[in-house]
Structure formats: structure tokens, C-alpha cells
A and B are shown apart, each in its own frame.
Chain A
Amino acid sequence: MPEFDIAVEGVSHIYKSKDGEVVALEDVSLEIPRGTLFSIVGPSGCGKSTLLRIMLGFLRPTNGTIHVAEERRRQGVAYIQQSAPLLPWRTLLQNASLGLEVRWRLSDVRVNALREEIASFGLGGFEDHLPGTLSGGMRQRVALIRALESQPALLFCDEPFAAIDFVTRLDLNTRFKDLCRVRRLTTVFVTHNIEEAIFLSDIIVVLSPRPGSVVKTYTPRLSISPTDAVESRKSPEFGELFAQIWNDLRPRGGR
């Protein structure tokens, strides 16, 4: 019986505005076991980000309940936003260190480790640059470092690799999967990139177009090099799964 870090039960969410109501999520239920990489895949506007924000506690769902394991929350939470915002008045290093700062874990040793981490992500030499001078891909990597270096137990990601070029993205995918596995992170990963979800995830949940509800759940098992974003694509399961999820996501009716 696996332990669940996050359990979502019958969650619906309705955005109210002057122009009327928009139902973003409808009766979503899912359970996320400890230490898994859990992807939420769906078309744009299906409520993926809303679901993530509900799990983070930023939004209160209109209906339904949400449970997050308290001891895991206390161990640490990190969130990588889609837009990867950096504080414009802080340098790259100072942005990357925010996670350590708010948890009072800043020490010379950790700062040095952080510098090495920054260099290993190909950002060496930019430590003292302000975000205004960094490219979108660089900013996203800083947001990634900021989240990972805060040593979280729960990691929430909203399209963290969207602004990164394809080659770097594959490389980061490999590293990301490795880090999440080694640190036994429970990761909730929102993406609309099917291939990324297949490579990274232990579990994939496919959401329908708005209002989002769970269409299907998959547990990818890649037989060839599951730890390498490029090599794993040679697994026969990769193509099959891609076709299945593609089929789930394809707009129906009309065409």
C-alpha cells in the first residue's frame, strides 16, 4: 500500500468574473504516491495550472478536498512557475539562493555548492548579473536551481522547460529526472509536451479540454535507457504511449 503525499478528491473549480463563470476543473480526483514524478498533461486552458495552484494552497477549490502530507510540507516545498519570474533587484546568485534564505539554511558551504550548481547548469560567470540581462532559457534554469537547491520534499512545476531550446531541454530532462529520483522528491509536473511527460514520469494523468477532468492515467515503463532523455526514445513503449496520449488529447467532434 503506497503512501500518498497528495490526495485530490472531487475537486472542481469555477472562476467567477463580470462576464460570467468559467468552469476550469470538474470533479478531479487523483492520488500522488510518495517519491513519484507525477505529470499532468492536457491541452492549453484545461485547468492544469489551476489544479497545481490548488495543490499549492494558492487557490481554494470551489468544491472538493485536497490533502497534502503535513510532514512532507514541513520538510520543504518548491514551486517553479511557468514564467520563471526572477526578482529584478537581485543578481542571478541571489535569486538562486532565495530558497535557502527563506529556510535559514544559508552557509558558506551551501553558497559554494550553489555556485557549482549554477556553473553545472551552464550559467557560470553570470552569477553577479541582474535578471534583465539574462535570456528566457537562462532565467528558467535559475528558477530550476532556486527550487532544487532549497532541498524540497514536494516539488511543483508548471512547464519549467517551456522556454528552453530543444537540445538543452533534453539535457535538462535527463538531469531533472535523475535529481528527482535520487532525492526521492514527490514531483507534480504540469506540461503539454507529451514526450517530456513520457520520459520523466512515473505516472501520467491526462486531462480533458476545459472543464478539465481526468481522462486516463498511464504509468510509463521504458525498457531502453529510462534515465536518458535521448536514448529512452528508442523504447518501443515510448512510441506506443505517445500515440495513445495523442489520441486522448486530440480534439473530438467536428473533424
Chain B
Amino acid sequence: MKDCKDRMRAHAMKSRLKVALVRIAILLVILAIWEVLGRSSREVFFAIGSPFEIAREFADLLVRGELVRHFSVTGAEALIGLLIGTFVGSVAGLLLWYSDLVDRVLRPFVLGLGTLPIFAFAPLMIIWFGIDFKMKVAMAAFSTVFVSFSQARRGATLVSGEYVEILKGLNAGRSSVFRKIVIPGALDWVLGSMRLNVGFALLGAFIGEFISADQGLGYVILRAGSLYNIPRAFAASIGIIVLALTFDWAARLVESRRHILVQVLSVPRRLWI
């Protein structure tokens, strides 16, 4: 039995290793083609740079401490916006469970606001929040709030009626049902929306930096682009990819610990395990 398990584990390790190796191989092939193309002529190099040159720019930004600075600015904007947007959207979406009437009344408004491209708000954002850090956070929050709102609302409406009846059968009030059934029951939807929002929050912060900024990865890319420094733009893009992967990893970590969240949110402390 133990032998069998060991063998299964070894097999899983092996297949994971295989996947990783293939990934690396694909990446190397793409980079090699890119490098060859980039060196083929000045014109092509001007348009697409080359991996080697991008690496040099990346190292340069890193050594001068620029990368870390811009990286953390964009990261902070997106993260704060993500947390605000997800929290506000989720709470509002869950609360809609209380009133079917309000839910029905609000539906077209929410749909309308949710489908509006965030970029359309840009001029207003400057008027409301200025051109600093706050504005980017607001952009990130606005990009995420409707996603969480609709996901949380959906999760709340899909909570099993059977579970609700457990509490109704105990003559529990609506607030008990909300806390003990709706919140934990819809939590997967809320956390799912948070993961979806990683991309939207970064996009929001990024657009904010495009509108007006003197720091952040968006600013670096915009500057590098306007100076025709393609390798630098690519180098900063790598920073954004790293940021997105880090956020996604963190969101997944939270998702995998959701049982702790459920305990904290809906079970009395006396009964925690």
C-alpha cells in the first residue's frame, strides 16, 4: 500500500517535471527566434528589440532601484484598489439577498454601470480624485467593484434553500440566516471574484498611470514608448507580469484557506477548531 502511494507520488513528480521542462523549452525557442529576428536588421530591432537587450534594460532598472520603486507603486495602487473594490462590491452584492425588490429595481442600473468601460470615467476621476496615488486606487477600485458585486449577488441567490430551511426551521431571524448561511455559502463566489479582479485591478491602476503619473510601471512603459525605447517598455512589462502572477498566487492562497475565513466570519469563536 505504502509502496503504491510512493510510486504514485513519484509518478506525479515526474509528470510535473516534464511539464516544467516543456514550458522552459517553449520559452527558450521563442526567445531564440526573437533574438535572431532582432539582430537581423536595425529596423526590426527598432520595432521589437531583442531578449538580450530587454534583459540588459531590466538589469539596469533593477540595479538603479527604479524597478522596485515603480513596481511597488503600481502594486500598491492595484492592491488597495482591489481590496476596496472587492470588499465594497461583495458586501453590497451579498446584502441584496435581503431584498428581492431592491435587487430587481437595481438590476438595469448595475448592468449599465458594469458594462461601461472604465476609461470613460477617466476625466471624471481626475476631477474627483486628483492626479495622484488616490486616483489610480480609485480607478482600480472602480474596475473591480462591479465584478465582485455581481458575483457576490449571484452567489447569495444560489445558496441552497435547503440550508436556509435548516435555520428557518429553528425559527432563526434573517440576520442569522445571512451570517451563517449566505456569507459562508457565497464565499467561494466572492473569492472567485477576487481572483478575476486581479487583472481588472492592474488594468485600472495601469490606465490611471497612463492618464497622468510620474511613477509606476505604466508611467515607465509610456515614457519608454514615447522615447522609442522598446526594450525598456518590454522590461517594465515583465514587471507587470510578475505583479499579476504574485497577486494571483496570493488570491489563490487566500482561496485555499477559505475554511479559516468561514470560521472567522460565521462561527462563534467558542467553537473554532
15 intermolecular pairs with C-beta atoms under 8 Å apart: A56-B168, A76-B170, A76-B171, A77-B171, A89-B187, A90-B267, A97-B268, A98-B180, A99-B170, A101-B176, A101-B180, A102-B176, A106-B271, A128-B273, A147-B169
Q: Assess the A83–B162 pair: CB atoms within 8 A.
A: yes
Contact A108 B270 (CB under 8 A): yes
Are A102 and B170 interface neighbours, CB within 8 A?
A: yes
Counting CB contacts under 8 A, is A227 at the interface? no
- A53: shortest Cβ distance to chain B, in Å? 9
CA distance A76 to B163 in the complex (A): 19
| Number of residue pairs spanning A and B whose beta carbons lie under 8 angstroms apart | 77
CB distance from B268 to the nearest CB of A (A): 6
Q: Give chain B residues whose Cβ lies under 8 Å from the Cβ of A147.
A: 169-170
Instruction: Determine the distance from Cα of A163 to Cα of B267 in the docked complex, in whole angstroms.
Output: 28
Q: With A73-B171, A76-B171, A150-B170 given, is the CB distance from A111 to B162 under 8 Å? A: no
Q: Assess the A89–B169 pair: CB atoms within 8 A.
A: no
Say yes or no: A111 contacts B270, CB within 8 Å. Answer: yes
Known: A81-B165, A81-B166. A94 touches B171 (CB 8 A): no
On chain B, the residues within 8 Å of A102 by CB distance are 167, 170-173, 176, 180
Given contacts A76-B171, A146-B170, 8 further A-B contacts (CB under 8 A): A80-B169, A83-B162, A85-B166, A87-B163, A90-B267, A102-B171, A102-B173, A106-B270
On whether A77 and B184 interact (CB within 8 A), knowing A91-B273, A106-B270, A108-B270, the answer reads no
Residues of A within 8 A of B172 (CB): 102
Determine if B262 is an interface residue (Cβ-Cβ < 8 Å): yes
Please list the 5 inter-chain residue pairs (A to B) with the smallest Cβ-Cβ separation, ordered nearest first.
Answer: A79-B169, A102-B172, A77-B171, A85-B162, A102-B176
Which of B170, B180, B184, B262 counts the most chain A CB atoms within 10 A? B170
Residues of B in contact (CB 8 Å), total 26
Q: Is A194 interfacial (CB-CB < 8 Å)? A: no
State in angstroms the CA–CA spacing of A165 and B216 once bound together.
Answer: 66
Given that A85-B162, A98-B180 are contacting pairs, would A79 and B267 also be in contact in the complex, using a CB cutoff of 8 Å? Answer: no
CB <8 Å contact, A79 and B170: yes
Q: What are the residues of chain B within 8 A of A189 when measuring CB–CB?
A: none
Interface residues of B (CB under 8 A from A): 160, 162-163, 165-173, 176, 180-181, 184-185, 187, 259, 262, 266-268, 270-271, 273
Given A89-B262, A99-B170, A102-B167: A94 and B162 within 8 A (CB)? no
- Closest chain-B Cβ to A60's Cβ sits at a distance in Å of 14
Using CB atoms, name the residue of chain B closest to A101. B268
User: Within the complex, what minimum Cβ distance (angstroms) separates B257 from chain A?
Assistant: 13
Q: Total interface residues on A, using CB and 8 Å?
A: 32
- Residues of chain A at the chain B interface (Cβ within 8 Å): 56, 58, 73, 76-81, 83, 85, 87, 89-91, 93-94, 97-99, 101-103, 106, 108, 111, 128, 146-147, 150, 152, 156
Which residues in B have their C-beta under 8 angstroms from that of A58? 165, 168
**A6 CA to B185 CA in the complex, in Å?**
34
- Whole-angstrom distance between the alpha carbons of A48 and B271 in the complex? 36
The answer to whether A77 touches B180 (Cβ under 8 A) is no
A89-B184, A89-B262 as given contacts; A98 in contact with B271, CB under 8 Å = no
Determine if A98 and B167 form an interchain contact, defined as CB atoms under 8 angstroms apart.
yes
CB-CB under 8 A from A99, the residues of chain B are: 170
Task: Tell which of A56, A80, A98 has the most Cβ of chain B within 10 Å.
Answer: A98
Do residues B270 and A81 form an inter-chain contact, with CB atoms below 8 A? no
Q: Which residues of B contact A56 (CB under 8 A)?
A: 168-169
Tell which of B171, B180, B270 has the most Cβ of chain A within 10 Å.
Answer: B171
- C-alpha spacing A103/B163, complex, angstroms: 17
Cα(A89)–Cα(B160), bound, Å: 13
CA distance A93 to B271 in the complex (A): 8
CB distance from A112 to the nearest CB of B (A): 11
B175's closest neighbor in chain A, by CB? A102
A39–B176 alpha-carbon span in the complex (Å): 30
Docked complex Cα distance between A89 and B266 (Å) = 10
**B169→A77 contact, CB < 8 A:** yes
State whether B184 touches A81 (Cβ < 8 A): no
Q: How far is the CB of A212 from chain B (nearest CB, A)?
A: 21
Taken together as a complex, chains A and B put the C-alpha atoms of A156 and B166 apart, in Å, by 12
- Contact check, A97 vs B271: say whether CB atoms are below 8 A apart: yes
Q: Are B169 and A78 in contact (CB under 8 A)?
A: yes
Residue of A with least CB distance to B261: A89
- Smallest Cβ-Cβ distance to A95: which chain B residue: B166
With A and B bound together, what is the CA distance between A235 and B166 in angstroms?
37
Considering the complex, give the chain B residue whose CB is closest to the CB of A80: B169
* Alpha-carbon separation in the docked complex, A186 to B221 (Å): 74
**Contact: A156 with B169, CB < 8 Å?**
yes
Given contacts A87-B184, A89-B184, contact A98 B169 (CB under 8 A): no
The residue in B168, B169, B185 that gathers the most chain A C-beta atoms within 10 A of its C-beta is B169
Q: Which residues of A contact B168 (CB under 8 A)?
A: 56, 58, 79
A98 to B273, CA, bound (A): 15
- B65 CB to nearest A CB, Å: 45
